[in-house]
Amino acid sequence: IDTEQFRSLGYKVVDFIADYYKGLEEGRHPVKPNIKPGFLNGQLPKSPPEKPEPWANIFEDFKSKLMPGVLHWQSPSFYGYFPANSSYPSMLADWLGSASNMIGFSWAAGPVSTELEMLMMDWLGQLLGLPSKFLYSSGHQQRGSAPCSPGSPCTHSQGVPKSIRPQPVDVHKCNAVQGTSSEAVLVALLAARARTLRGRPKSDALNLVAYSSDQAHSAFKKACMIVGINHVRVLPTRAEDDYALQPSVLQAAIEEDIASGLLPCYLCATIGTTSSCAVDPVGDLARVGRAAATGPVWSHVDAAYAGSAAVCPEQRAMHFQGLEELDSYSFNPHKWMLTNFDCCAMWTADATGNALDLKDLQIPLGRRFRSLKLLFVMRCYGAERLRAYIRHHCALAAWFADKMQEDSRFELAAPQRFGLVCFRLAGMPNEVNKALLDALNARGDMFLIHTELNGKYTIRLAVGSTGTQLRHVQHVWVVVQEEASKLLAAQ
């Protein structure tokens, strides 16, 4: 494909995408593909071609053979998992970022991606009302030294990125765009491990303990496995506490572990758990961790989905208190902030290691130009529209939860929070609730998933697709009632 062919094929691809999105809006694609595992077998050759193939054939196969295997996450009737919304500004930014294909691991390798990323992390931090200790622009002070004055060169030696020192930026903060929350949870654990082991014998590594609640994402356990943490404490939560981790439970675990000669190291708390959007009391938990007799426990908060809600001051007041107590914080604009996958923003208040460039804050060396998506999204929507967008989804979820509460056949399995509603047929066994979910998904015009709360099969309605409107959620409510009536009559 030469440049002129690219120009004309590119227009066709844009047309295809625009038609696809229009089709999603108009409900022309079933959300869930009607296929079985192995659907691709025999559709494409088993080996790569020896000779170049014409673009027209490749694109045709994409449309006819691959598109049928797409689960339409961007459908307004997609309520599964958590949303991964997209937007046109974000897609355009991704294309432009791909065009340069800069691998911006250092300033020299990606001058604009490095500098824009640092600025975007500050924009985003301000948009969410994060404590100023997380912002590059807030001025800074190395422990035990005089503060650097904003606007004058920083002479401190640690931090990021080496290549743009001296600059009036806080080199002790390690704020960067990661690919995913799982990476952020892992990176925070590595920082926690380094801080806890500083000045201690290497053999203490065997005694490190990491804590989370039983509602934390599996990314926590995965990170512990990767890092080789021997003692992983998954602490219990209770339905009565809305599945939030209680500080007294953490405190007791830490004390017990210290008494057994272990070394508490890392706490991964959550704002907006995957199952039910539980909100841990993160400030209190962090304070408990900091007071551990063996030294401070690193507190990381994973707000992968719910973090976007902090653009709204009312959500901040309800669910985002105590962030100033944390060592690090992350959320995914790629879930609920109109930013196409992948994009996880991570802030670290005080970098304890010797990070020199943005590559030192992550697992891979190479980095995509992800900050461009954030720039385009924040500029195209503005804080005002982003707030309206989040409020719209929260209101739709609240509407659905109200309907559930007005109908005695249903119960909410957890308080409705953010865009999530967790519901079930009240008093019905798990199999009946599973049958309800199967009936909803079998229709093809909506997609939901389930979770288990307190041993009970629970259906999740996660409202958050870019185009979801009241009429879509009303439709789900009508269908849920119809299917429930059929199931209950058959009981």
* Interaction site with ligand PLP (CB under 6 A): 82, 180-182, 217, 219, 270, 273-274, 302, 304-305, 332, 344
Q: Which is nearer to ligand PLP, 179 or 264 (CB)?
A: 179
Beta bridge partner(s), residue 457: 452
Helix, strand, coil proportions of the chain in percent (round to 5)? Answer: 45, 15, 40
In which region does residue 455 sit, left (phi positive, over 0), alpha (psi from -120 to 50) or beta (all else)? left
- What is the closest distance, in whole angstroms, from the C-beta atom of residue 227 to ligand PLP in the complex? 16
CB 247 within 8 A of CB 300: no
Q: Which is nearer to ligand PLP, 327 or 342 (CB)?
A: 342
- What is the closest distance, in whole angstroms, from the C-beta atom of residue 9 to ligand PLP in the complex? 32
Residue 107 DSSP class: T
- Sequence-ordered list of residues with C-beta below 8 angstroms from that of 388, at least 6 positions apart, any chain: none
Q: Which is nearer to ligand PLP, 187 or 292 (CB)?
A: 187
Q: Which is nearer to ligand PLP, 32 or 217 (CB)?
A: 217
Q: Which is nearer to ligand PLP, 83 or 110 (CB)?
A: 83
Q: Which is nearer to ligand PLP, 219 or 435 (CB)?
A: 219
Residue 70 tokens, joined = 């797409």
- What is the closest distance, in whole angstroms, from the C-beta atom of residue 267 to ligand PLP in the complex? 15
d(CA 144, CA 137): 20
Q: Which is nearer to ligand PLP, 82 or 389 (CB)?
A: 82
- What is the closest distance, in whole angstroms, from the C-beta atom of residue 414 to ligand PLP in the complex? 14
Place of tokens 């440049």: 3
Identify the CA nearest to 96 among candidates 366, 373, 339: 373
Q: Which is nearer to ligand PLP, 284 or 302 (CB)?
A: 302
N-to-C CA span, the chain: 61
Residue type for 63, please?
K
- What is the closest distance, in whole angstroms, from the C-beta atom of residue 336 to ligand PLP in the complex? 11
Q: Which is nearer to ligand PLP, 142 or 340 (CB)?
A: 340
Place of tokens 């923003």: 345
Q: Which is nearer to ligand PLP, 273 or 433 (CB)?
A: 273
- What is the closest distance, in whole angstroms, from the C-beta atom of residue 217 to ligand PLP in the complex? 3
Neighbours of 117 (CB within 10 A): 26
What SS3 string covers 194-253? HHHHCCCCHHHHHHEEEEEECCCCCHHHHHHHHHCCCEEEEECCCHHHCCCCCHHHHHHH
d(CA 447, CA 264): 41
3-state secondary structure of 174: coil
- What is the closest distance, in whole angstroms, from the C-beta atom of residue 354 to ligand PLP in the complex? 26
Tell me how many helices (H) and strands (E) the chain has.
13, 13
- What is the closest distance, in whole angstroms, from the C-beta atom of residue 327 to ligand PLP in the complex? 17
CB 367 within 8 A of CB 340: no
Q: Which is nearer to ligand PLP, 304 or 361 (CB)?
A: 304
Residue 355 tokens, joined = 């990070």
CB 383 within 8 A of CB 311: yes
Residue 137 tokens, joined = 């622009």
- What is the closest distance, in whole angstroms, from the C-beta atom of residue 323 to ligand PLP in the complex? 16
- What is the closest distance, in whole angstroms, from the C-beta atom of residue 82 to ligand PLP in the complex? 5
- What is the closest distance, in whole angstroms, from the C-beta atom of residue 487 to ligand PLP in the complex? 29
CB 65 within 8 A of CB 340: no
